[in-house]
Amino acid sequence: MQKYTKYLFITSLLLSLTSLYIIEKGGKEIYPFYSWKLFTSPSGNEKFEEQYRLYNIENNDTIRVLYHPTAIYDENNLGLITNFYGKKIEKRENLEMNIRKMKIFMKSYNPEYKKLILYKEKYCPQDIGKSSFKINKTLITKL
Amino acid sequence: MNYKELTVYNYKIVYYALRIFGLYWLLIQYLNFKKISEWPKDIYEPFLSAQRLIFPSYPSEILFASILVSCAVLLVITIFKQNYFLNFLIFIFIAIINLPISLNFSVGHHNHLIIIGYFMSIFLLPKNLTNENDYKWVQYFYLGLLATYSMAGISKFLGIAKNLIKGTDKITWLDKNAAKINTLDNYWMADIKVPNWILSLYEYENFWVIITVFAIIIQASSFLGAFNRKYLTFVMVFLYIFHWYTDFFVLADFQNAKNFVLIALFPYHLLYPLFKRNKLLDDQLLK
């Protein structure tokens, strides 16, 4: 039966390539045969990049919610989840539900954050670390 | 041993190593599972809609632990009783176990190599690899693993070509500081300060252009390792360092994939003189 390994290889390759094609068309991969189009260009390759960030109002100041690792979330989790719901909220996709989920998520991260505002931040990755670096914020909504 | 013999010999050891590694991997998945279990129940977002068929909500500890234990039992059984169908089940279990861990909110690639490893080894039982020409099927096993890296490497070349031809102002891997911006952007999004030792390494701007191009070439050509043992060992070392790099420099943790690379591609035949002294191991593996 070992000769069938050849067909496993062909299957895996074809499904990975099909995944790639489907993703280009806006679909999702054929699990578990992922596409392997990773880091085709460096992260931050665009002139401007965008991310969704939460701010919290504390004593009339709007403070950017920073990601600190906790017992249950690491920095990547925090960024990923914020961006996930941030995007849905901006697109007004199941708006109420996604706002509720974002609040539940933030409560589990830090219950102190009670007056949250969602912004979309635009920045130039090539300026990170330079004095010219600046963030352009667009208000999406209060949560 | 000639190339054909040692290729089969190496796979026979990989077969057992995959089972031991599998038990370790299951343990790590349990720990990951426990951590995500602490997240509020409402924020479960399966990446694929089909995931809801298997796990309509984030799995309970009983359910997930049962799946882990079943998989562990199969891994242990197949150490003593080699069987195609059980191998297939192991592959299915591993793919299912990975769902709530890596496909929540987005699609994480860090366990893909492991899933593919169990997939490619379904039809390879040491007891049936008796013919000298069986090395060909082991080559397909390696090819299955390495093709993923080659595709990732080739897509980088295509990315470069596309941006050069279209004349976009995007940064490609050929640009000076491409690797540095890649690092800075990933650290920026995670709110982590880039360590000084990383910044000082990036001061060698021209060196990084060379090393980036070199790395993409090795990554794209890694499938050739399936046909040449020395190159395979080289690719193994390269991929290990590459995963180490992405972990520190891009915050992409491929810890298990990194270990899997060592286990699956290791030149065990170099240790053959050691094994030979141990009669039991030798009988088990070579006969």
Which residues in B lie closer than 8 A to residue A47 (C-beta atoms)? 169-170
Residues A82 and A134 in one domain: yes
Residue B40, C-beta contacts closer than 8 angstroms, at least 6 positions apart: A104, A105, A107, A108
End-to-end CA distance of chain B: 15
Cβ of B120 within 8 Å of Cβ of A12? The answer is: yes
User: CA separation (Å) from B4 to B117, B147, B225, B233, B262?
Assistant: 21, 21, 14, 16, 20
Cβ of A40 within 8 Å of Cβ of B158? The answer is: yes
Residues A19 and A89 in one domain: no
Cβ of B137 within 8 Å of Cβ of A2? The answer is: yes
Which residues in A lie closer than 8 A to residue B119 (C-beta atoms)? 8, 12, 32
From the list B128, B144, B159, which residue is nearest A2 (CB)? B128
Residues A104 and A75 in one domain: yes
A4 touches chain B (CB under 8 A): yes
State the residue for tokens 């679909």. A27
**Both tokens assigned to B280:** 């039991």
Confidence tier at B109 by pLDDT (50, 70, 90): confident
Nearest partner of B223 among B241, B235, B239, judged by Cα: B235
Residues A119 and A74 in one domain: yes
Q: Are strands A135-142 and A116-123 parallel, antiparallel or unpaired?
A: antiparallel
Residues A95 and A27 in one domain: no
Structure confidence by residue, pLDDT tens digits, B211-252:
999 999 999 999 999 999 999 999 999 999 999 999 999 988
B248 touches chain A (CB under 8 A): no
The pLDDT assigned to B286 comes to 56
Cβ neighbours, 10 Å, residue A106: 22
Q: Which domain holds residue A8?
A: 1-38
From the list B38, B106, B250, which residue is nearest A72 (CB)? B38
Cβ neighbours, 10 Å, residue B228: 12
Smallest CA–CA distance, residue A60 to chain B, in Å, is 24
CA–CA distance, B159 with B164 (Å, rounded to integer): 9
**Strand boundaries in B16-61, DSSP class E:** none
Residues A80 and A133 in one domain: yes
- What's the domain count of chain A? 2
Structure confidence by residue, pLDDT tens digits, A32-54:
988 777 788 888 888 899 999 99
Residues A6 and A64 in one domain: no
Residues A59 and A117 in one domain: yes
Q: Are strands A61-64 and A116-123 parallel, antiparallel or unpaired?
A: unpaired
Cβ of B184 within 8 Å of Cβ of A100? The answer is: no
pLDDT greater than 80 at residue B280: no
Sheet holding A135-142, edge to edge: A61-64, A49-58, A116-123, A135-142
Choose from B11, B15, B184 for mutation: most chain A CBs within 10 A: B184
Nearest partner of A52 among A142, A143, A137, judged by Cα: A137
Give Rg (Cα) of chain A.
Answer: 20
Confidence tier at B64 by pLDDT (50, 70, 90): very high
Residues A23 and A66 in one domain: no
pLDDT greater than 90 at residue B23: yes
B39-43, B114-118, B274-278: which has the minimum mean pLDDT? B274-278
**Greatest CA span in chain A, whole angstroms?**
71
- pTM of the full structure: 0.92
- Give the angle B259-B218-B242 at the CA atoms, nearest 5°: 35
A positions 46-105 inside 8 Å of B (CB) = 46-47, 49, 51, 66-68, 71-73, 75-76, 78-81, 84, 100-101, 104-105
Residues A58 and A93 in one domain: yes
